[in-house]
Amino acid sequence: MSSQTEAQAHTPITKWLFLVGGVILTAGLLFGYDQGVISGALVGIEKSFSVSTFMVEIITSWVTLGALVGALVAGILSDKVGRKKAVLLAAVLFTFGALVEAFAPGAWVLVAGRLIVGFGVGVASVAAPLYAAEMAPTRLRGRFVSGYQFGITFGIFLAYLIDELLSSGDRWRLMLGISAVPAVLLIVLILPSSDTPRWFLTKGRRADAESALERIRPDDTAQAMAELEASVEGETEQAGWAEVFSQTWRRPLTIGIGLAVFQQVTGINAIIYYANKIFAAAGFITPQGQTAATTWAIGAVNVLATLIAVAFVDKLGRKPLLLAGLVGMSVSLTVVGVCFWFINRSGTTTTGGPSDAGLITLVALVVYIASFAFSLGPVVWTVINEIFPRNIRGRGVSIATAANWGSAWLVSQFFLSLVDTIGESGTFMLFAALSVVAFIWILKVLPETRGRSLEDIEQMWLDEPGQAAASPAS
Ligand code: BGC
């Protein structure tokens, strides 16, 4: 392993790695664009189809439901047909779904388009990071995975910008349809790329594995091939579901699912999706004022703060970033909750712009987004992709990712109804309370994984007290 690290320290970045980088950024961008775009499109959609609150929630959140199914299928799919074809399928679905949305004659066809796009998002959210992790040399792997989160946040920002540009007039069809452009770009990028050397080897296609390695590791192909063969050897028996849920791996599975769920139930997508409505309630009365607040206070801050995590995740570690972020999130959510209590009590506001409480809400939301973006946003994905042992990695990542989408769906489906029932103030207080629970849970259960090789992490679970009795075979 150490010789591998030494050899890779000299690996040049070949043009193939740029291609892989392009794939991962574009896949993240599509994920983010489809998450973010709906916030600005809702006004126009509501006008065109005059739909109920419940239908608005369905149109918003069923992308997530499709993604949940897509993520569950993606682990097995990318083992069977390969990472490249799984990404290609996701890109084709994105393109088709975007066109169905853009030309939808009624609300239900629009929902069908959202489901198709969602399925693509879900497949890509498992297959693309897996593809990048297996294509990247060890020393660049962290950066490649964070590159995915950077793509997501940039996609959300782009969606907000386009929403803002197209906000005059009801051009929601164009807002949704435009995502066909990066989707086609993803097809163009992935087609000439090869599948990963690791996948070829697990399929017994040694020659293909070697020529794929030649492209990404031209300097030390032979050595890389020998290492890969040694590491794939123990893996020819891909473990089944029983192994994934076995006592031996209970801890990484619980941690993976727990982190995935906490990333969502602390409110991020309620804010990403419904930002305009939140700013409207906080007293930003013109649609232009709302979209500007959303684009810059949420979208741009999200992109910039992600760069903090990219810079520090390998220096400071995963746990300190997560804990610091959760402190910022709990405090800012509490402030938003209190502000909404004042706003609703004083019956603001249909004229004269945002009140003081509205402006404080804006500032608190900026703090919330920044805190999420340097912590739970990228770090949860990093940890999920490194804690599972090799023989269950695909399925483990797939389950944790599906849990993430499942909770994202719950939040976005019921956010507006929750606001109707317990008010904005109660809803944000609830997110704040869940952030405190997440803080305590992470403090107690998460071991630090910074600086450990994947093999170390695997061994760490096996060395835990009680583990030997639970699983003598492993
Ligand atoms: C989350 C998404 C969220 C995005 C916001 C990602 O890490 O998984 O659900 O929309 O961050 O930047």
- The Cα-based distances of 143 to 124, 137, 312, 404 in angstroms read 18, 10, 11, 22
* Higher-pLDDT residue of 453, 120: 120
Q: Please give the pLDDT value at position 166.
A: 83
pLDDT one-digit tens code per residue, 39-62: 778 888 988 888 888 888 889 888
Q: Span 98-118, mean pLDDT? A: 95
Q: Which of 121, 263, 306, 321 to mutate to test the pocket of ligand 1 (most atoms within 8 A of CB)?
A: 263
* Higher-pLDDT residue of 220, 469: 220
Atom of ligand 1 nearest to the CA of 378: 7
- The Cα-based distances of 122 to 30, 74, 178, 240 in angstroms read 11, 7, 19, 21
* Higher-pLDDT residue of 414, 236: 414
Q: 139: which 2 tokens? A: 């020393």
> Over pLDDT 90: what percentage of the chain?
44
Q: Span 182-206, mean pLDDT? A: 90
Going from the Cα of 377 to the center of ligand 1, the distance in angstroms, rounded, reads 6
Q: 298: which 2 tokens? A: 């949420």
Q: What is the pTM of this model?
A: 0.84
pLDDT one-digit tens code per residue, 426-469: 999 999 999 999 999 999 999 998 887 777 888 899 887 656 44
Residue 280 clears pLDDT 90, i.e. is over it: no
- 306 CB less than 6 Å from ligand 1? no
Q: Span 88-94, mean pLDDT? A: 96
Q: Please give the pLDDT value at position 90.
A: 96
- 325 CB less than 6 Å from ligand 1? no
Q: pLDDT tier at 115 (50, 70, 90 boundaries)?
A: very high
Mean pLDDT (the chain) is 86
Residue 12 clears pLDDT 50, i.e. is over it: yes
Q: Please give the pLDDT value at position 7.
A: 42
Using the Cα atoms of residue 194, residue 307, residue 397 and residue 93 in order, give the sign of their dihedral. negative
pLDDT one-digit tens code per residue, 223-233: 878 877 876 76
Q: pLDDT tier at 169 (50, 70, 90 boundaries)?
A: low
Going from the Cα of 414 to the center of ligand 1, the distance in angstroms, rounded, reads 18
Residue 9 clears pLDDT 50, i.e. is over it: no
Q: Whose CA is nearest to atom 10 of ligand 1?
A: 269
Q: Please give the pLDDT value at position 472.
A: 37
* Higher-pLDDT residue of 347, 204: 204
Q: Span 371-399, mean pLDDT? A: 89
Residue 325 clears pLDDT 50, i.e. is over it: yes
Q: Please give the pLDDT value at position 5.
A: 44
> Over pLDDT 70: what percentage of the chain?
90
Q: Span 148-173, mean pLDDT? A: 86
Q: Which of 268, 376, 401 to mutate to test the pocket of ligand 1 (most atoms within 8 A of CB)?
A: 268
Atom of ligand 1 nearest to the CA of 377: 7
* Higher-pLDDT residue of 372, 234: 372
Residue 132 clears pLDDT 70, i.e. is over it: yes
* Higher-pLDDT residue of 220, 401: 401
Going from the Cα of 345 to the center of ligand 1, the distance in angstroms, rounded, reads 32
Q: 265: which 2 tokens? A: 């139930």
- 408 CB less than 6 Å from ligand 1? yes
Residue 10 clears pLDDT 70, i.e. is over it: no
Q: Whose CA is nearest to atom 4 of ligand 1?
A: 377
- Dist CA 318 CA 306 (whole Å): 14
Going from the Cα of 116 to the center of ligand 1, the distance in angstroms, rounded, reads 19
Q: Please give the pLDDT value at position 6.
A: 41
Q: Span 230-242, mean pLDDT? A: 68
Q: Span 53-77, mean pLDDT? A: 89
- 387 CB less than 6 Å from ligand 1? no
Q: Which of 63, 152, 257, 410 to mutate to test the pocket of ligand 1 (most atoms within 8 A of CB)?
A: 152
